[in-house]
Amino acid sequence: MVPTPAGVVPNPTVPGVPVPQPAKGGRSKLFLIIGVVVLLLAAGGVYYYLQQSQTKEAEQAPVTQSSEDASITALKKELESLAITEVEADFTAVDKDLNSL
Q: What is the pLDDT at residue 37?
A: 97
Model confidence over 12-33: pLDDT tens digits?
565 666 666 655 667 889 999 9
Model confidence over 47-89: pLDDT tens digits?
999 998 887 776 766 655 666 777 888 888 888 888 777 777 7
- Can you give the chain as a three-state secondary structure string? CCCCCCCCCCCCCCCCCCCCCCCCHHHHHHHHHHHHHHHHHHHHHHHHHHHHHHHHHHHHCCCCHHHHHHHHHHHHHHHHHCCCCCHHHHCHHHHHHHHCC
The model scores a pTM over 0.75: no
